[in-house]
Amino acid sequence: MSNKPVPLTTPDIAATPQETATMNQPQESPQPVITPEQLAALLGQQYPPTSQQAAIIGADTGPLLVVAGAGAGKTETMAARVVWLVANGIVHPDEVLGLTFTKKAAQQLSRRIRQRLARLQIAPGLRTIDPAGKIAKALAASAPEVSTYDAFAGNIVGEFGLLAAIEPARRLITDTEQVMIARQVVQDFTGELTQSVKAATLADTVRQLANGLDSHLISEAKLTEETRALIDLIEQAPRAPRQREALNKTLQEIIDRQQQRLELLPLVQRYRQRLDDLDVTTFSQQLAQAAHLAATYPRIGEQLRRRYRVIMLDEYQDTSHAQRVLLRSLFGTGDNSLTVTAVGDPMQAIYGWRGATASNLANFVYDFPSSNSDGTTCPAPKAELTVSWRNPNTVLDCANLVSNEILGSPTNPARPVQPLTPRPDAPAGDVDIRLLADAEGEEQAIVSWVASRYQQALDEGHADEFSCAILVRTNKAAPPLATALAAHNIPCEIAGLAGLLFVPEVADVVAFATMLVDPGMDSATLRILLGPAVEIALEDLTALLQRARNLQGRSRIPGEDTQAGDSLEELADHWLLHAPWRDRTGADQPHIQQLARQLAAAITQEPAPRAGLADALADLGERDRYTSGGVQRLERMSAMLRQLRAVASRSTIVDTLGEIIRLTGLRVEIYARNHPGAPGSSGAAHVDQLLAEAARYQEIPGATLRGFLEYLRLAEEAEGGLRSGEITPAPGRVQIMTAHKAKGLEFAHVVVAQADGNNYPSEYFLTKAHNTWQKTVTEFPPSLLGEDSPTHHDEALPQLILDPDMNRKEIEQALEEHQLEMKQHLAEEAARLLYVAITRAEQDLLVTAYRQTKRNRPLGFSTLVDTITSTYPELLRYEAPVAGSDTATSCTDDLHHEAESVQRTAAELELFQRWLAAPLLGTPPEPIAGVRDSAAAMGVYPADHLQQRRAGMVQGRAIYDSLAAACPTASEDPVDAEQSATTAARLVSDPGNAVAAPHAAPEDESLVAGDDAAAQLVNLWQQEVTALIAEQQRQQQATVELEFPSDVTASDMVAMASNPDAYARRLARPVPFQPNRFAKRGTALHQWLEERFDGQGMLDFDDLPGTGEFDPQGEELAQLKAAFQHSPWASRQPAFVEEPFAVVIGDTVVRGRIDAVFHTGDDPTAGWQVVDWKTGRVPTGAKREQVAIQLAVYRVAWAKLVSEKYGVDIPADSIDAGFYYIGANEFVAPSTLPSEHTLAQLVAHTASRAVAAIAASDADAAETLD
């Protein structure tokens, strides 16, 4: 497809010159009739807006920048401004567009605005400001639109993409799918690269490079020009005095990285072309396309400005350059009647690593100018929100010290926002800053601090409202803290982790799926065999492994321990070295060796598949090799795998995974362990998320279960194991999350952990290796970032300035200084992250770090924390001995720990070997000296998967067994209800006596006789248990009642005739059939025939842009079309095409569609012929007779339809019927077809056999599984 823009011809966005002139002129807005304070009173709000909030809410229409500090009520103010504009009749609700970053934030903003508007709609005083009722009518009929920035860009492409020949309906793909496509591109690449890089790493680099170019709107030509200029400048610069001829290592490395970036551009081009070929797109590509459309076609903005008159831009400091161009092109017109409000905080710009451009906030006033009365423009006005409604005084003092380090003194007029001030009734708050001796000490200090506050909540009776968060710098720091909190019985959860594939139940489903498609992947099989689903003994595992080796059947060369997985190439090498003829005379002659090498080179097939444990499960061999209990478990698992393989062979990926979950009872286990209704419970959210991922993957053409498993493997690398299921945080639990995840949240108690110089600004931070453009190919020079004209670039980034007259030494110094400036820029972002973390606290705050050594340099707090403690020394508590922390001691300690680690590793290896050699089940080996908790580490095999739940499960099983014995069954007369209820009540009230006789006299009749409520409850239990037992007995019956459908299709009739038993089984256990290309081909051809005979629309599908690029039927469909065009049927015109019918045959309604009905002669009661088009082969033998059932149904149906229409009885045998096989050019018209009576007998016969068929199926399944 050509990328050349097409002319703008879309009717709905075309405008006359007069309309365009009117749209470009400022429009008068209605005068306000109510103030923000009056509106708050009208809505019954408890507190009126502050003077700062009121000024923003009631500001004139036009562009406005609102700089709002943390906790300053920006969301409330944005919602109030929208309501004020609606209440004053300045805008209709559906003319409001709100944009933010996350779906959750969009939902919150939308909910806030809608709630306020709903309150306005029913406000008693609305009539005073809206006597005509126009506002009330608008509120009842419309609502504002709130979306994410990404979704908005997608809508732009979807609505206007065809203007630039951009396919608007492309599928968005995830990072993992991007990696899959990039890897294929890398594998197919035949060019040369100067740098040696692993294919997997190279693929991810190509993906990141393409996304970066799109996000920053950098053209490949501009990147090449900029890079070549830098390389030439360095290489051609004169040498400084006493410099060598060759470039030194530093400059050469910089040149190599720039050259490598250019070398990857052909791969980026191929990667983008592959995306086009697959008709998919990425978020960054979609955003770049939206920005291009908005900047290239001004009429898009004209239409959207007519649609939206109020635009609210949330978190504007986190927007990228592409988003800036998109929004500026659409709404930056200088029209004061267009209200564009951007809200952001420069101190919360923490996503530069994700492509955000921090200077967008400052540039807003220039990108969205305001109009003067004389027609000129000026920068948009700016307002501030600086009153913190969240933080106490002491916390604010700390936060303001951090902001002063970044933004400068409050007296500086250039400071973008003033420091935060506390609300009038703000408490003092409590801040505790601690420097600990080591990581273990920091962990203990955090747990102790949290435990004291949690205990206080318990004592005061509101533990379920306990609000606390521990903010860490990296995800890997979260699990140890969660373990430590759990050890102190403090409820907690780790928020926002990816790791879906590491959730136990998800890993089990993936393991089962892996066993189906990759039996040689023993790690998956071992997970299931050693888990609670099977839990086989070590003897059985050993026997199963031996069976796998037997199945391999690979001959071994004497003296060589050739593994089962050796490739054919390796065996050829063995033959070359160890063949018997080597000892014969002349065996070492060159021609013989050459022959052997040619043999090895000729073996080009893939390595022979290795027989794995799953293969052994499918073919267990002699049963006497296993234990008696083990053979039962293995046979049950073997039967389950056979059933799953049958499902997988004909089902979609989602259906296969769903069947795994059903057969294994995994969902029941999840709910038993984690009730879905409990607060904060994950329930089956993680498993459902896996199914959702599978559903998305199924959209890929040619998707298979094997491909999906490969996709999951890549997801572990690209996305950290995919995002887990969405879980609502439980009240009363400590939330552990990264500081980035905490943005926008607030908690009563906050811990800022890892506040050291390694994670936050310090002298050491500036010496660390950071990803900058000089040494990282996926980063770009600052001169290219944010550059859409020579005078607009990202002023927040330091710029590299090189003079052509510089020598190499001067260039190297300039590059080093620029590198330091880039690190300082990254340090500023880390400082803002610390500010974000501190300002999450509503009551009290703990900041911790521990003493450590980095590059022989002692390291403690970040310099920002040092600034706080130097200003407020009373906040600091040292819990680490200052003495002994010198460099020499620290280095000695490091060496000691390293030596200890080596010893521990060796000891743990020995421990593992002893575990393998343990002679008896459940008998751990002796502990090993030098390995802490070695006995505990050994554990007991089999593992106790129930652990602390075992006692309750055993007790519950005893109660259930006793209740089952006490309650009546479905096949016998019920025992006395009062006696059974009393027995049940006694068993439940005294579980320890659960094994008593089921019909023993009750010890306490008062439980039933004296307490009606208890009697009703116990009777209810009795009914439920009785129903469960009856259901279990029905499931164990030899026959199963099957209700035959009263409505079938003509294809069902054919299936009945072909195999009634299989049809009956499908009725009882319907499983979707796997779509195949032949079915799709037939569907496409039928559509073409229908259009050919029945007329075409004004615009054919093939005439749409892009539809000619991908045809899933390919040449076969074209050949079938050509064959039909040359057939005698092409010249005939059917009377009816795709004619639907519904007739009663016997007691069953049969529905279907007749492809074509032809008529000859003038008599409407005669001369009819029904024809069914066929794209497959002409059947033979019994199959030919079976498919004739379809024609018989069509003939009977058409006879009834014609008879009913003309009021005469037309016999079915007077109507001709036949199949036309297009590919073979053969018309098949059976001489005899079954009558209506015969068809009715077929239905009745199939229904009578259905029960027997299902019974046999169930008996086979029960025998196999048991």
Q: 950 vs 664, 946, 947, 961, 1001, CA distance in Å? A: 20, 5, 6, 16, 30
Q: Is 1020 exposed, middle or buried (0-12, 13-18, 19+ CB in 10 A)?
A: exposed
Place of tokens 């209990």: 629
Q: At what angle do helices 504-517 and 522-529 cross, to 10 degrees?
A: 130
Residue 641 in contact with residue 577, Cβ under 8 Å?
no
For 1176-1186, how does the pLDDT look when each residue is reduced to its tens digit (9 = 90+)?
888 887 778 88
Do 808 and 787 lie in one domain? The reply is yes
Of these ranges, 65-74, 174-183, 593-602, the one predicted with the greatest mean pLDDT is 65-74
Q: How many CA atoms lie within 13 A of 959 on its CB side?
A: 18
**Residues 899 and 846 reside in one and the same domain:** no
Tell whether 393 is covered by a domain: no
Beta strands in 643-779 (DSSP E): 734-738, 747-752
194 has pLDDT over 80: no
Annotated binding site for ATP: 68-75
pLDDT digits (tens, 9 = 90+) for 17-40: 344 444 444 455 677 889 999 999
CA 1106 to each of CA 167, 279, 285, 1111: distance values in angstroms, whole numbers, following the listed order: 7, 9, 18, 10
What's the pLDDT at 150?
A: 93
Q: Are residues 1067 and 1180 in the same domain?
A: yes
Write phi, then psi, for 344 (nearest 5 degrees): -165, 175
For residue 385, what pLDDT is reported? 96
Q: Which of 313-327, 518-532, 788-802, 1035-1049 has the highest mean pLDDT?
A: 313-327
**Res. 784: pLDDT tops 50:** yes
Between 1160 and 301, residue with greater pLDDT: 301
pLDDT of res. 1090? 67
Mean pLDDT calculated for residue range 867-874:
94
**Per-residue confidence band for 589, with pLDDT thresholds at 50, 70 and 90:** low
Judge whether 87 and 120 are in contact, CB under 8 Å.
yes
Work out the average pLDDT over 623-632: 88
Averaged pLDDT, 1072-1080: 45
Check pLDDT > 90 for residue 864: yes
Looking at the structure, tell me whether residues 762 and 859 fall in a common domain. Answer: yes
Tell me the DSSP string of 599-623: HHHH--SPPPPPP-HHHHHHS---G
Q: What distance, in Å, lies between the first and last C-alpha atoms of the chain?
A: 59
Position 1022 in a domain: yes
Euclidean distance between CA atoms 793 and 787, whole angstroms:
5
CATH of the domain at 1160: 3.90.320
| Cβ atoms 182, 272 nearer than 8 A | no
Q: Of 88-97, 566-575, 621-630, 861-870, which gets the smallest average pLDDT? A: 566-575
The answer, yes or no, to whether residue 1259 has pLDDT greater than 60, is: no
Q: Are residues 520 and 628 in the same domain?
A: yes
How far from 856 is each of 477, 852, 887, CA to CA, in Å? 23, 10, 6
Does 345 map to a domain?
Answer: yes
Q: Which domain holds residue 798?
A: 430-495+729-879
Nearest to 1186 by CA among 1145, 1227, 1224, 1230: 1230
Four-CA torsion 1085, 1088, 1094, 1095, nearest 10 degrees: -170
SS (H, E, C) 985-1048: HHHHHCHHHCCCCCCCCCCCCHHHHCCHHHHHHHHHHHHHHHHHHHHHHHHHCCCCCCCCCCEE
- Comparing 722 with 339, the larger pLDDT belongs to 339
957-994 pLDDT tens trace: 677 677 666 655 444 444 444 444 444 444 444 444 43
Q: Which of 326, 350, 385 is the last residue of a domain?
A: 385
For 239, 976, 1174, the CA distances from 245, given in Å and listed in that order, are 7, 106, 78
* Residue 16: inside a domain: no
Pick from 75-79, 226-230, 565-569, 1238-1242: least confident: 565-569
Identify whether residues 682 and 781 lie together within a single domain.
no
In a domain, 706, yes or no: yes
Residue 299 host element (H or E) = helix 298-307
Whether 843 maps to a domain, the answer reads yes
Is residue 226 within 8 Å of residue 787, measured between CB atoms? no
| Mean predicted confidence (pLDDT) in 122-135 | 87
pLDDT for 419-435, tens place per residue?
A: 999 999 999 999 999 99
Query: Can you tell me the distance from the alpha carbon of 248 to that of 251, in angstroms, rounded to the nearest whole number?
Result: 6
Q: Show Cβ contacts of residue 1143 under 8 Å, excluding neighbours closer than 6 positions.
A: 1149, 1150, 1196, 1197, 1200, 1201
The pLDDT of residue 542: 86
Is residue 335 located within the same domain as residue 255? no
Q: Which of 723, 663, 664 is nearest to 689 (CA)?
A: 723
Taking 90 as the threshold, does the pLDDT of residue 813 lie above it?
yes
Band the pLDDT of 726: cuts 50, 70, 90.
Answer: low
> 3-class SS at 27?
coil
Overall average pLDDT of the 1158-1171 stretch: 86
Q: Determine if residue 931 is left, alpha or beta; phi over 0 gives left, psi from -120 to 50 gives alpha, anything else beta.
A: beta
- Whether residue 70 lies inside any domain: the answer is yes
Asked whether 1157 and 1136 are in contact (CB, 8 A), the reply is yes
- What pLDDT sits at residue 966? 63
Confidence band (pLDDT; 50, 70, 90) for 306? very high
User: Residue 144 — very low, low, confident or very high, per pLDDT cuts 50/70/90?
Assistant: very high
In 1037-1172, which ranges are continuous DSSP H helix? 1050-1058, 1060-1068, 1077-1094, 1114-1125
Q: Which of 1008, 1036, 1064 is the last residue of a domain?
A: 1036
Same domain, yes or no: 1011 and 1053: no
Q: How far apart are CA 410 and CA 73, in angstroms?
A: 21
| Separation between Cα atoms, residue 341 and residue 319, nearest integer Å | 14
647 plus 714 within the same structural domain: yes
Residues 848 and 988 in one domain: no
pLDDT (average), residues 366-385: 93
pLDDT for res 3: 39
Query: For the chain, what percent of residues have pLDDT higher than 70?
Result: 71
Split at pLDDT 50, 70, 90, the class of 924 is very low
Do 274 and 288 belong to one domain? no
> Amino acid identity, residue 1088?
W
Q: Residue 546 maps to which CATH number? A: 1.10.486.10
304 in any annotated domain = yes
252-266, 755-769, 839-853, 1252-1266: lowest mean pLDDT where?
Answer: 1252-1266
From residue 427, give the alpha-carbon distance in Å to each of 48, 361, 472, 797, 871: 21, 32, 26, 39, 20
To the nearest whole number, what is the mean pLDDT of the chain? 78
Q: b vs e for 281-308, b when ≥16 Cβ sit within 10 Å of the residue's Cβ?
A: bbbbbbbbbbbbbbbebebbbbbbbeeb
Residue 67: its H or E element: strand 64-68
If one counts the domains in the chain, the total is 7
Query: pLDDT above 90 covers what percent of the chain?
Result: 35
Could you tell me which of 933, 1016, 938, 948 has the C-alpha nearest to residue 977? 1016
Predicted confidence (pLDDT) at residue 1230 exceeds the cutoff of 70: yes
Q: What CATH code is carried by the domain that includes residue 330?
A: 3.40.50.300
700 in the same domain as 832 = no
pLDDT class for 273, splitting at 50, 70, 90? very high
Q: What does the pLDDT average to over 119-135? A: 88
Contact, 35 vs 58, CB < 8 A? Answer: yes
The model's pLDDT over 1031-1062, given as tens digits with 9 standing for 90+, comes to: 555 545 544 445 566 667 777 777 777 777 66
| CB 335, CB 26: distance < 8 Å | yes
Annotated binding site: 68-75
Sorted by sequence, the CB contacts under 8 Å of residue 174 that are 6+ apart come out as 696, 715, 719
Helix (H) or strand (E) holding 591: helix 590-602
Cβ atoms of residues 450 and 734 within 8 Å: yes
Whether the CB-CB separation of 392 and 428 falls below 8 Å is answered with yes
Instruction: Please determine, for residue 824, whether its predicted confidence score (pLDDT) is greater than 80.
Output: yes
Reply yes or no on whether the pLDDT at 997 is more than 50. Answer: no
Write down the pTM of the prediction.
0.66
640-644, 672-676, 960-964, 1097-1101: which has the highest mean pLDDT? 640-644
pLDDT in tens, 511-561: 999 999 988 888 888 888 888 778 888 888 888 888 888 887 643 433 444
Pick the residue with more confidence: 142 or 728? Answer: 142
Instruction: Say yes or no to pLDDT of 914 above 50.
Output: no
Give the DSSP letter of residue 756: B
Range with the poorest average pLDDT among 154-163, 405-414, 443-452, 1129-1138: 1129-1138
Instruction: Examine the fold and report which residue of 691, 718, 745 is the final residue of a domain before the chain moves on.
Output: 718
Q: Residue 1214: name the closest of 1163, 1156, 1151, 1148 by CA.
A: 1163
- Helix 705-718 / helix 175-188 crossing angle, nearest 10 deg: 100
